[in-house]
Structure 1
Amino acid sequence: MAKRSEGVKVVCTNKKARRDYHIEETFEAGLVLRGCEVKSLREGKANLTDAYAWVQDGEAWISGLHISPYPHGRREEQDPDRDKKLLLHKYEIRRLHGKVRQKGYTLVPLRVYFRGGHAKVELGLGRGKKHYDKREDLKRADAQREIQRAMRRR
Protein backbone atom coordinates (compact mmCIF):
# COMPACT_ATOMS: atom_id res chain seq x y z
CA MET A 1 0.00 0.00 0.00
CA ALA A 2 2.78 2.43 0.84
CA LYS A 3 4.90 3.76 -2.03
CA ARG A 4 8.33 5.30 -1.81
CA SER A 5 9.58 7.97 -4.17
CA GLU A 6 12.15 10.70 -3.55
CA GLY A 7 12.23 10.13 0.23
CA VAL A 8 8.44 10.30 0.48
CA LYS A 9 6.46 7.35 1.82
CA VAL A 10 2.80 7.72 0.82
CA VAL A 11 0.48 6.24 3.44
CA CYS A 12 -2.91 6.87 1.82
CA THR A 13 -4.53 8.99 -0.88
CA ASN A 14 -7.98 10.45 -1.39
CA LYS A 15 -8.90 9.15 -4.84
CA LYS A 16 -12.28 10.88 -4.90
CA ALA A 17 -10.84 14.34 -4.28
CA ARG A 18 -9.63 15.11 -7.82
CA ARG A 19 -12.79 13.59 -9.26
CA ASP A 20 -15.13 15.69 -7.12
CA TYR A 21 -13.16 18.98 -6.92
CA HIS A 22 -11.23 21.35 -9.17
CA ILE A 23 -8.01 21.60 -7.13
CA GLU A 24 -6.51 25.04 -7.66
CA GLU A 25 -3.70 25.06 -5.08
CA THR A 26 -1.99 22.54 -2.82
CA PHE A 27 -0.44 23.03 0.60
CA GLU A 28 1.75 20.79 2.73
CA ALA A 29 0.86 20.67 6.42
CA GLY A 30 2.34 18.75 9.33
CA LEU A 31 0.15 16.56 11.53
CA VAL A 32 0.01 16.64 15.33
CA LEU A 33 -0.18 12.96 16.32
CA ARG A 34 0.12 10.83 19.43
CA GLY A 35 2.76 8.08 19.69
CA CYS A 36 0.68 5.08 18.70
CA GLU A 37 -0.93 6.99 15.80
CA VAL A 38 2.50 7.46 14.23
CA LYS A 39 3.23 3.72 14.48
CA SER A 40 -0.12 2.88 12.94
CA LEU A 41 0.47 5.40 10.10
CA ARG A 42 3.87 3.84 9.38
CA GLU A 43 2.07 0.52 8.90
CA GLY A 44 -0.27 2.20 6.39
CA LYS A 45 -3.42 1.90 8.52
CA ALA A 46 -5.14 5.16 7.61
CA ASN A 47 -8.18 6.19 5.59
CA LEU A 48 -8.88 9.60 4.01
CA THR A 49 -12.21 8.77 2.37
CA ASP A 50 -14.49 11.18 4.27
CA ALA A 51 -11.82 13.57 5.55
CA TYR A 52 -12.07 17.36 5.36
CA ALA A 53 -10.15 20.28 6.81
CA TRP A 54 -11.19 23.62 8.23
CA VAL A 55 -9.75 26.73 9.87
CA GLN A 56 -11.02 27.93 13.25
CA ASP A 57 -9.59 30.51 15.67
CA GLY A 58 -6.34 30.81 13.73
CA GLU A 59 -5.71 27.05 13.72
CA ALA A 60 -6.15 24.47 10.97
CA TRP A 61 -7.80 21.14 11.76
CA ILE A 62 -8.55 17.91 9.92
CA SER A 63 -11.52 15.70 10.64
CA GLY A 64 -12.46 12.31 9.29
CA LEU A 65 -8.87 11.09 8.98
CA HIS A 66 -9.27 7.60 10.39
CA ILE A 67 -6.08 6.12 11.84
CA SER A 68 -6.68 2.56 13.01
CA PRO A 69 -5.57 1.80 16.57
CA TYR A 70 -2.11 0.33 16.94
CA PRO A 71 -2.59 -3.25 18.20
CA HIS A 72 0.30 -3.12 20.70
CA GLY A 73 -0.55 0.32 22.11
CA ARG A 74 -2.58 1.34 25.14
CA ARG A 75 -6.30 0.95 24.39
CA GLU A 76 -7.62 3.88 26.43
CA GLU A 77 -5.47 6.44 24.60
CA GLN A 78 -6.64 5.55 21.10
CA ASP A 79 -9.51 7.36 19.39
CA PRO A 80 -9.21 6.63 15.65
CA ASP A 81 -11.55 9.44 14.54
CA ARG A 82 -10.39 12.35 16.71
CA ASP A 83 -9.83 15.74 15.08
CA LYS A 84 -6.15 16.38 14.45
CA LYS A 85 -4.39 19.72 14.39
CA LEU A 86 -2.51 20.75 11.25
CA LEU A 87 0.80 22.59 11.38
CA LEU A 88 0.96 25.51 8.94
CA HIS A 89 2.58 28.92 8.95
CA LYS A 90 0.38 31.73 10.26
CA TYR A 91 0.28 33.48 6.88
CA GLU A 92 -0.81 30.23 5.20
CA ILE A 93 -3.62 29.78 7.72
CA ARG A 94 -4.81 33.37 7.17
CA ARG A 95 -4.72 32.91 3.41
CA LEU A 96 -6.61 29.61 3.58
CA HIS A 97 -9.19 31.10 5.93
CA GLY A 98 -9.80 33.97 3.51
CA LYS A 99 -10.17 31.62 0.54
CA VAL A 100 -12.44 29.15 2.35
CA ARG A 101 -14.78 31.97 3.38
CA GLN A 102 -15.37 32.69 -0.31
CA LYS A 103 -18.31 30.85 -1.75
CA GLY A 104 -17.58 27.43 -3.19
CA TYR A 105 -14.04 26.87 -1.87
CA THR A 106 -13.18 24.01 0.44
CA LEU A 107 -10.08 22.39 1.93
CA VAL A 108 -9.70 18.79 0.80
CA PRO A 109 -7.01 16.42 2.14
CA LEU A 110 -5.39 14.76 -0.89
CA ARG A 111 -2.85 12.40 0.68
CA VAL A 112 -1.03 11.52 3.88
CA TYR A 113 2.68 10.75 3.68
CA PHE A 114 5.99 10.78 5.52
CA ARG A 115 8.76 13.13 4.45
CA GLY A 116 12.00 13.06 6.38
CA GLY A 117 10.37 11.08 9.19
CA HIS A 118 7.56 13.62 9.71
CA ALA A 119 3.89 12.90 8.98
CA LYS A 120 2.48 15.35 6.42
CA VAL A 121 -0.89 16.00 4.79
CA GLU A 122 -1.26 17.47 1.32
CA LEU A 123 -4.26 19.80 1.33
CA GLY A 124 -5.97 20.98 -1.82
CA LEU A 125 -7.90 24.21 -2.08
CA GLY A 126 -10.67 23.48 -4.51
CA ARG A 127 -14.15 24.12 -5.80
CA GLY A 128 -16.74 21.39 -6.08
CA LYS A 129 -17.35 20.03 -9.58
CA LYS A 130 -20.79 19.97 -11.11
CA HIS A 131 -22.19 16.74 -12.52
CA TYR A 132 -21.51 17.79 -16.11
CA ASP A 133 -17.87 18.57 -15.25
CA LYS A 134 -17.40 15.01 -14.03
CA ARG A 135 -18.90 13.62 -17.26
CA GLU A 136 -16.58 15.82 -19.30
CA ASP A 137 -13.57 14.50 -17.36
CA LEU A 138 -14.67 10.92 -18.00
CA LYS A 139 -15.00 11.61 -21.74
CA ARG A 140 -11.54 13.17 -21.80
CA ALA A 141 -10.04 10.17 -19.96
CA ASP A 142 -11.73 7.73 -22.39
CA ALA A 143 -10.42 9.66 -25.38
CA GLN A 144 -6.91 9.67 -23.90
CA ARG A 145 -7.13 5.89 -23.35
CA GLU A 146 -8.15 5.36 -26.97
CA ILE A 147 -5.22 7.47 -28.17
CA GLN A 148 -2.83 5.40 -26.05
CA ARG A 149 -4.25 2.14 -27.45
CA ALA A 150 -3.87 3.42 -31.02
CA MET A 151 -0.27 4.44 -30.33
CA ARG A 152 0.55 0.97 -28.92
CA ARG A 153 -0.88 -0.76 -32.01
CA ARG A 154 1.45 1.12 -34.35
Structure 2
Amino acid sequence: ATFEKAKVVAENRRARYDYHIEDTYEAGIALTGTEVKSLRFGEGSIAESYAEVSESGIWLINANIPEFSHGNRFNHQPKRPRKLLLNMREINKLHGAVARQGMTLVPLSVYFNGRGRAKVELALAKGKKAPDKRATEKERDWKREQGRLLRDRG
Protein backbone atom coordinates (compact mmCIF):
# COMPACT_ATOMS: atom_id res chain seq x y z
CA ALA A 1 0.00 0.00 0.00
CA THR A 2 1.23 3.50 -0.77
CA PHE A 3 0.06 6.33 1.42
CA GLU A 4 -0.24 9.99 0.59
CA LYS A 5 2.73 11.73 2.17
CA ALA A 6 2.55 15.48 1.78
CA LYS A 7 5.49 16.08 4.13
CA VAL A 8 7.73 13.38 5.57
CA VAL A 9 9.11 14.28 8.98
CA ALA A 10 11.10 11.22 10.01
CA GLU A 11 12.14 8.02 8.30
CA ASN A 12 13.52 4.80 9.65
CA ARG A 13 15.97 3.95 6.89
CA ARG A 14 17.45 0.96 8.69
CA ALA A 15 14.13 -0.84 9.07
CA ARG A 16 14.15 -2.28 5.56
CA TYR A 17 17.68 -3.56 6.13
CA ASP A 18 17.00 -5.06 9.55
CA TYR A 19 13.58 -6.55 8.82
CA HIS A 20 11.56 -8.41 6.22
CA ILE A 21 8.57 -6.11 5.70
CA GLU A 22 5.38 -8.16 5.40
CA ASP A 23 2.67 -5.55 5.42
CA THR A 24 2.29 -1.81 5.98
CA TYR A 25 -0.45 0.13 7.72
CA GLU A 26 -1.19 3.81 8.09
CA ALA A 27 -1.96 4.85 11.65
CA GLY A 28 -2.89 8.14 13.19
CA ILE A 29 -1.00 9.28 16.29
CA ALA A 30 -2.54 10.80 19.39
CA LEU A 31 -0.38 13.88 19.90
CA THR A 32 -0.37 16.97 22.07
CA GLY A 33 -0.26 20.45 20.58
CA THR A 34 3.44 21.04 21.18
CA GLU A 35 4.25 17.67 19.60
CA VAL A 36 2.39 18.57 16.44
CA LYS A 37 4.23 21.90 16.27
CA SER A 38 7.58 20.19 16.71
CA LEU A 39 6.75 17.76 13.90
CA ARG A 40 5.65 20.60 11.62
CA PHE A 41 9.13 22.03 12.04
CA GLY A 42 10.41 18.73 10.70
CA GLU A 43 11.81 17.57 14.01
CA GLY A 44 11.43 14.04 15.26
CA SER A 45 13.18 10.71 15.02
CA ILE A 46 11.94 7.13 14.94
CA ALA A 47 15.33 5.46 14.51
CA GLU A 48 15.20 3.42 17.72
CA SER A 49 11.45 3.13 18.01
CA TYR A 50 8.97 0.29 17.77
CA ALA A 51 5.29 -0.27 18.42
CA GLU A 52 3.81 -2.39 21.14
CA VAL A 53 0.42 -4.06 21.37
CA SER A 54 -1.24 -3.84 24.78
CA GLU A 55 -4.75 -4.22 26.19
CA SER A 56 -5.41 -0.52 25.65
CA GLY A 57 -4.32 -0.47 22.01
CA ILE A 58 -1.12 -0.04 20.04
CA TRP A 59 1.58 2.28 21.36
CA LEU A 60 4.53 3.91 19.64
CA ILE A 61 7.45 3.48 22.03
CA ASN A 62 10.73 5.39 22.10
CA ALA A 63 9.93 7.76 19.24
CA ASN A 64 11.67 11.03 19.91
CA ILE A 65 9.79 14.27 19.24
CA PRO A 66 11.92 17.05 20.74
CA GLU A 67 10.30 19.70 22.92
CA PHE A 68 8.80 22.60 21.02
CA SER A 69 11.20 25.53 21.20
CA HIS A 70 8.46 28.06 21.97
CA GLY A 71 6.49 25.77 24.25
CA ASN A 72 5.97 26.79 27.87
CA ARG A 73 5.33 24.66 30.93
CA PHE A 74 2.80 22.68 28.90
CA ASN A 75 5.60 21.23 26.78
CA HIS A 76 5.56 17.46 26.24
CA GLN A 77 8.03 14.77 27.17
CA PRO A 78 10.17 13.99 24.09
CA LYS A 79 10.08 10.19 24.42
CA ARG A 80 6.66 9.49 25.92
CA PRO A 81 4.68 6.50 24.57
CA ARG A 82 2.12 7.71 22.03
CA LYS A 83 -1.08 5.93 21.17
CA LEU A 84 -1.52 4.84 17.56
CA LEU A 85 -4.97 5.16 16.06
CA LEU A 86 -6.09 2.21 13.98
CA ASN A 87 -9.45 0.59 13.52
CA MET A 88 -10.40 -2.44 15.58
CA ARG A 89 -9.97 -4.88 12.71
CA GLU A 90 -6.42 -3.71 12.08
CA ILE A 91 -5.57 -3.80 15.78
CA ASN A 92 -6.81 -7.37 16.09
CA LYS A 93 -4.88 -8.42 13.00
CA LEU A 94 -1.65 -6.85 14.27
CA HIS A 95 -2.22 -8.26 17.73
CA GLY A 96 -2.61 -11.74 16.28
CA ALA A 97 0.49 -11.47 14.11
CA VAL A 98 2.64 -10.22 16.97
CA ALA A 99 1.32 -12.80 19.43
CA ARG A 100 1.32 -15.85 17.16
CA GLN A 101 4.07 -15.38 14.61
CA GLY A 102 6.51 -13.35 16.67
CA MET A 103 6.34 -10.40 14.30
CA THR A 104 7.53 -6.92 15.23
CA LEU A 105 5.80 -3.61 14.60
CA VAL A 106 8.29 -1.15 13.16
CA PRO A 107 7.48 2.43 12.21
CA LEU A 108 8.89 3.19 8.74
CA SER A 109 8.06 6.88 8.61
CA VAL A 110 6.20 9.74 10.26
CA TYR A 111 4.56 12.21 7.91
CA PHE A 112 1.70 14.63 7.36
CA ASN A 113 -0.95 13.57 4.87
CA GLY A 114 -2.71 15.85 2.43
CA ARG A 115 -5.21 16.90 5.08
CA GLY A 116 -2.43 17.92 7.43
CA ARG A 117 -2.82 15.02 9.83
CA ALA A 118 0.25 13.40 11.37
CA LYS A 119 0.47 9.73 10.40
CA VAL A 120 2.78 6.81 11.03
CA GLU A 121 3.56 4.22 8.39
CA LEU A 122 3.68 1.06 10.46
CA ALA A 123 5.22 -2.14 9.15
CA LEU A 124 4.49 -5.66 10.25
CA ALA A 125 7.96 -7.13 10.04
CA LYS A 126 10.11 -10.13 10.82
CA GLY A 127 13.65 -9.65 12.06
CA LYS A 128 16.40 -10.67 9.67
CA LYS A 129 19.22 -12.95 10.71
CA ALA A 130 22.79 -12.04 9.79
CA PRO A 131 22.90 -14.16 6.58
CA ASP A 132 19.74 -12.46 5.31
CA LYS A 133 21.33 -9.08 5.89
CA ARG A 134 24.36 -10.20 3.91
CA ALA A 135 22.07 -11.30 1.10
CA THR A 136 20.32 -7.93 1.17
CA GLU A 137 23.69 -6.21 0.99
CA LYS A 138 24.85 -8.42 -1.87
CA GLU A 139 21.68 -7.72 -3.81
CA ARG A 140 22.00 -3.98 -3.22
CA ASP A 141 25.63 -3.96 -4.34
CA TRP A 142 24.73 -5.97 -7.43
CA LYS A 143 21.91 -3.59 -8.33
CA ARG A 144 24.34 -0.70 -7.98
CA GLU A 145 26.91 -2.50 -10.11
CA GLN A 146 24.22 -3.27 -12.73
CA GLY A 147 23.29 0.39 -12.94
CA ARG A 148 26.94 1.30 -13.35
CA LEU A 149 27.48 -1.25 -16.12
CA LEU A 150 24.37 -0.14 -18.00
CA ARG A 151 25.38 3.50 -17.67
CA ASP A 152 28.90 2.93 -18.92
CA ARG A 153 27.75 0.84 -21.89
CA GLY A 154 24.76 2.91 -22.87
TM-score by length of 1: 0.93
State the secondary structure of the residue aligned to 1:23.
strand
Runs of 4+ in 1 over 4 A off after TM superposition: none
Q: Equivalents in 2 of 1:86, 1:74: separation in Å?
A: 25
**Which structure 1 residue ranges, 5 or more long, are not aligned?**
none
> Following TM superposition, by how much is the alpha carbon of 1:77 offset from its aligned partner in structure 2, in angstroms?
3.1
Give secondary structure in 1 for the equivalent of 2:151.
helix
Pick the aligned partner of 2:50 from 36, 52, 58.
52
Which one-letter code corresponds to 1:118 in the other structure?
A: R
Q: Secondary structure at the match of 1:46?
A: coil
Indicate the residue corresponding to 1:137 in structure 2: 136
Sequence identity, in percent?
Answer: 49
Higher strand residue share: 1
Match of residue 106 from structure 2: 108
Report the AA paired with residue 136 of structure 2: D
Q: Secondary structure at the match of 2:70?
A: coil
- Please tell me whether the aligned partners of residues 5 and 111 of structure 2 are also in contact (alpha carbons under 8 angstroms): no
Q: Deviations over 1:107-130 (max 9, x none)?
A: 001100000110000000010000
**Does the 8 A contact of 1:104 with 1:128 survive in 2?**
no
Question: 2:132 aligns to what SS in structure 1?
Answer: helix
Q: State the alpha-carbon separation in 1 of the partners of residues 86 and 54 from structure 2.
A: 13
Change (3 A) 1:89 1:67: same
Root-mean-square deviation over aligned CA pairs: 1.4
- What's the TM-score once normalised by structure 2's chain length? 0.93
Amino acid at match of 1:128: G
Per the TM alignment, residue 76 of structure 1 is displaced from its structure 2 partner at its CA by 4.6
Is residue 72 from structure 1 mapped to residue 64 from structure 2 by the alignment?
no
1:8 shift after superposition: 1.6
Q: Distance in 2 between the 1:75 and 1:47 partners? A: 23
Counterpart residue type for residue 56 of structure 1: S
Deviations along 1:45-74, whole A, 9 cap, x unmatched? Answer: 101011010111141110111001111011
Find the aligned partners of 1:103 and 1:91 in 2 and give their Cα distance: 18
Q: Is the 8 A contact 1:36 1:69 kept in 2?
A: yes
CA distance in 2 between counterparts of 1:67 and 1:120 reads 14
Distance 2:142 2:39 in 1: 37
**Residue-pair matches, total:** 150
AA aligned to 1:108 is: V
Match of 1:34 in 2: 32
For 1:49 and 1:6, locate their aligned partners in 2 and report how far apart those are by CA, in whole Å: 21
Query: Unmatched 5+ residue regions in structure 2?
Result: none
CA distance in 1, matches of 2:102, 2:127: 7
Contact 2:62/2:81 (<8 A) preserved: yes
